[in-house]
Amino acid sequence: MLKYIIKKIILMIPVLVGMTIVVFLLLHLAPGNPVDLIAGPRATPETIKSIEMRLGLDKPLIVQYFKFLENLARGDFGISILQRRPVMEIIKEALPVTVELGIASLLVSFILAVPLGIMAAVYRNTWKDYISMSGALVAMSVPAFWLGLIAIYVFAYKLRWFPVSGYGTWRHLVLPLLAITLTEIAVTARMVRSSMLEVIKQDYIRTARSKGLEEKSIIMGHALKNAMIPVVTMFGLKIGWIVGGATIIEIVFARPGLGRMMVNAIYARDYPVVQGAMIVLTAAIIIGNLIADILYVVVDPRIKY
Amino acid sequence: MENIVLEVKDLRTSFFIDKKELPAVAGVSFKIAAGETLGIVGESGSGKSVTAFSIMGLIDSPPGKIMGGSILYKGENLLEKTEKEMRKIRGNKISMIFQEPMTSLNPVYTIGKQLAESLILHQNMTKKEAEKKAIEMLKLVKLPSPEKRIKEYPFQFSGGMRQRVMIAMALSCDPDILIADEPTTALDVTIQSQIMELIRDLNRKTGTAILFITHDLGVIAELVQNVIVMYNGKIVEYASVKDIFKTPYHPYTIGLLNSMPKIAGPREELKFIRGMAPLPGEIVKGCRFKTRCDYVTEECRMEEPPLYEVGDSLVRCWRFKK
């Protein structure tokens, strides 16, 4: 097991290196120039030159890249061009906001979706299945930002149960959680259902029945453990999205999270902040993949490690 | 009177597809005595597996439904039992092995756990006792180093070994009847004969009666005492294995025997039964075999023959009308 994990971690290294190159190049080759933004429209060529020198933008690209890597290794993500403070500090403020919503959404969606999906599969083609699955279809079709706006209108503006926007208490969490999780529940429930239906057809379920096992223990034991293999994989992959999945919702609810921070930085061409945010995002996804790989082995003994 | 463990009387099982009734088993009766080996032969779709699943109470409903008849296990009608009562019989008194050993074991549980499951359920064993018994059962089915292997998963076993595990599992609660639904079909020939030898051996050792379903007459010849030939949901011939091979009466049985390739003698073209097996419910009037029979008469077209006694055999054919 440990060997398998180490192997997976070693395999992550080239992905990480590739990621830094892409992140670095993407922003440097993109049109638009942060120097103009800092210097303002009436800056003299000398001012621009001095700003470029200060930021290291006058050096060749390859030198800039290695400087970037070196800083990265030290946990130095650079200084925000606009806010004039370390990017690391900005990320440290924004990340918990995003992670709080992401983890809450991930947990709530799986806790609700798994039983829902099992129920729909076990009672397939009955009203329980029809209601939960048509509900899921509706929930899946509703965009999260729209749901967020409707939730703000109904629960915050009209009923005044929850704050309209912001961050801080659990009450600030409820509406964004609702907006972002409903779709997730629907997607996951449908996946659990179809995975379960696939498993129920299998020969080993017939074997379990022929042993005289109770239907309940067949479903919750023999069927569920097999049906959870793809679901657990998805859970692992979703871990990566805890960090990056809520950008739109953060904007709708004015939550000072990583997604919103990154979008603002993109508008401002605040290179170091965008780079920092993208590195955190991609690192989260790579780590999520690693967790998915590990979970996969836990549930499926056929994966050799 | 011998000790009858299972008596099936006029069993009728249908499937309802698009609101149309397809009678897969259309009135089948037979008896199995303790320790007997009974074979059911027939083509795909003749109703042999459906008969087996009906006995186990494992017909998927819908679309399947047992329309009538009775299945008496030691005099008790299984069709009148509740699901809960059936669960106590399934895997305990009557157990079953299947055609597909590769997929019949749960891939995410160890062999040991799957073997122990029915022991814990039916014999009230503790985990430890069940594990000990599981090792014992694996020894019985001649699986090498069972102590190590119970900790392994099905994917670490070959098809033949998995079928051995299935047999060990089916026999672990010392059932009165083992239903074997084409257990050797998916295996290659050498493994086939090993598994058959094992089943024959276990039948002698444990005295478990065996209902052996197959489409392979060669398997029947090696293993069973009595044979039922099924065609289109009905029994067309019911005889001892000796009589079936020596004096087959029903034109279908004769056709089946003729279509077996012979190793001895001069090479000749392989014979076959002309036409196609009808679907369940396709033939509503007359003999079910009339469309493929060489001896067909007006009587065959009009009315279905009953089972006639010919010597020690039962044959469903007008040619043996007395």
Q: What percent of chain B lies above the pLDDT cut of 90?
A: 29
Report d(CA B210, CA B220) in Å as an integer.
Answer: 12
Is residue A88 a part of any domain in this protein?
no
Interchain CB contact of B95 with A (< 8 Å): yes
Is residue A84 a part of any domain in this protein?
no
Token pair of B132, please?
């000990």
Instruction: Mark whether A24 and A56 lie in a shared domain.
Output: yes
Q: Torsions phi, psi of B64, nearest 5? A: -90, 155
In the sheet with B226-231, reading across from the earlier edge strand, the strands are B94-97, B177-181, B209-214, B37-41, B226-231, B234-240, B313-315, B308-310
Residue-level pLDDT at A305: 57
HSE-up of residue B192 (Cα within 13 Å, Cβ side): 16
Our count of domains for chain A comes to 2
Instruction: Inform me whether the pLDDT recorded for B229 exceeds 90.
Output: yes
Report d(CA A116, CA B224) in Å as an integer.
Answer: 49
For residue A299, the distance in angstroms to the closest alpha carbon of chain B comes to 7
β-bridge pairing B308-310 and B226-231: unpaired
Instruction: Inform me whether the pLDDT recorded for A204 exceeds 90.
Output: yes
Residue B76 pairs in a beta bridge with B73
Residue-level pLDDT at A304: 67
Instruction: Inform me whether the pLDDT recorded for A198 exceeds 90.
Output: yes
Mean pLDDT of B183-187: 82
Strands (DSSP E) contained in chain A are none
Q: Which chain A residues are closer than 8 Å to B95 by Cβ? A: 210-211
**DSSP tag of B79:** G
Residue-level pLDDT at A32: 67
The residue among B288, B197, B216 whose CA lies nearest residue B259 is B216
Structure confidence by residue, pLDDT tens digits, A48-88: 888 777 777 778 888 888 888 888 888 888 888 788 899 99
Instruction: Mark whether A46 and A101 lie in a shared domain.
Output: no
- Name the least confident of A35-44, A145-154, A183-192, B173-182: A35-44
What does the mean pLDDT of chain A come to? Answer: 87
Structure confidence by residue, pLDDT tens digits, B82-110: 888 989 999 889 999 998 888 999 999 99
pLDDT confidence bin for A165, thresholds 50/70/90: confident
Token pair of B85, please?
């009562």
Residue B213 pairs in a beta bridge with B40, B181
Residue B63: cis peptide before it, omega within 30 degrees of 0 = yes
Q: Which class for A29: exposed (0-12), middle (13-18), buried (19 or more C-beta within 10 A)?
A: exposed
Neighbours of A95 (CB within 10 A): 17
Which residue is closest to A204 within chain B, CA to CA? B104
Instruction: Mark whether A157 and A233 lie in a shared domain.
Output: yes
Instruction: Mark whether A220 and A116 lie in a shared domain.
Output: yes
Structure confidence by residue, pLDDT tens digits, A255-267: 899 999 999 988 8
Domain of A18 in residue numbering reads as 2-73
Instruction: Mark whether A288 and A175 lie in a shared domain.
Output: yes
Is residue A155 a part of any domain in this protein?
yes
Interchain CB contact of B120 with A (< 8 Å): no
For residue A208, the distance in angstroms to the closest alpha carbon of chain B comes to 8
Is residue A91 a part of any domain in this protein?
no
Instruction: Mark whether A49 and A112 lie in a shared domain.
Output: no
Write the ipTM.
0.85
Q: Which chain A residues are closer than 8 Å to B170 by Cβ? A: 210
Structure confidence by residue, pLDDT tens digits, A104-118: 999 999 999 999 999
Residue B237 pairs in a beta bridge with B229, B315
Strands (DSSP E) contained in chain B are 4-17, 20-33, 37-41, 64-73, 76-77, 94-97, 177-181, 209-214, 226-231, 234-240, 308-310, 313-315
Report d(CA B254, CA B260) in Å as an integer.
Answer: 10
Is residue A89 a part of any domain in this protein?
no
Instruction: Mark whether A103 and A246 lie in a shared domain.
Output: yes
- Whether residues A211 and B118 touch (CB distance < 8 A) is answered with yes
Structure confidence by residue, pLDDT tens digits, B274-308: 888 888 878 778 888 888 888 888 888 888 888 88
Instruction: Inform me whether the pLDDT recorded for B180 exceeds 60.
Output: yes
- DSSP for A236-290, written as a single string: HHHHHHHHHTTHHHHHHTT---HHHHHHHHHHTT-HHHHHHHHHHHHHHHHHHHH
Q: What is the CATH number of the domain that holds A123?
A: 1.10.3720.10
Residue-level pLDDT at B10: 92
Mean pLDDT of B53-57: 91
Instruction: Mark whether A61 and A159 lie in a shared domain.
Output: no
What does the mean pLDDT of chain B come to? Answer: 88
Residue-level pLDDT at A208: 92
Instruction: Mark whether A160 and A206 lie in a shared domain.
Output: yes
Picking from A73, A108, A129, the residue at the C-terminal end of a domain is: A73
- Whether residues A210 and B91 touch (CB distance < 8 A) is answered with yes
Report d(CA B160, CA B192) in Å as an integer.
Answer: 8
Interchain CB contact of A299 with B (< 8 Å): yes
Residue-level pLDDT at B63: 86
**DSSP tag of B307:** P
The residue among B32, B35, B81 whose CA lies nearest residue B52 is B32
pLDDT confidence bin for A34, thresholds 50/70/90: low
Q: Which chain A residues are closer than 8 Å to B88 by Cβ? A: 212
In the sheet with B64-73, reading across from the earlier edge strand, the strands are B20-33, B4-17, B64-73, B76-77
Q: Which chain B residues are closer than 8 Å to A301 by Cβ? A: 107-108, 110, 153, 155
Is residue A90 a part of any domain in this protein?
no
Q: How far is CA B248 from CA A184, B30, B42, B263, in A?
A: 65, 19, 14, 20
Is residue A305 a part of any domain in this protein?
no
**Three-class secondary structure of residue A104 per DSSP:** helix
Instruction: Mark whether A152 and A31 lie in a shared domain.
Output: no
**Three-class secondary structure of residue B176 per DSSP:** coil
HSE-up of residue B140 (Cα within 13 Å, Cβ side): 23
Q: How far is CA B307 from CA A217, A271, A279, B304, in A?
A: 44, 91, 81, 10
- Whether residues A204 and B100 touch (CB distance < 8 A) is answered with no
Instruction: Mark whether A47 and A164 lie in a shared domain.
Output: no
Interchain CB contact of A203 with B (< 8 Å): yes
For residue B58, the distance in angstroms to the closest alpha carbon of chain A comes to 7
Instruction: Mark whether A106 and A13 lie in a shared domain.
Output: no
Which residue is closest to A298 within chain B, CA to CA? B108
Residue-level pLDDT at B1: 47
**Three-class secondary structure of residue B282 per DSSP:** coil
Instruction: Inform me whether the pLDDT recorded for A202 exceeds 70.
Output: yes
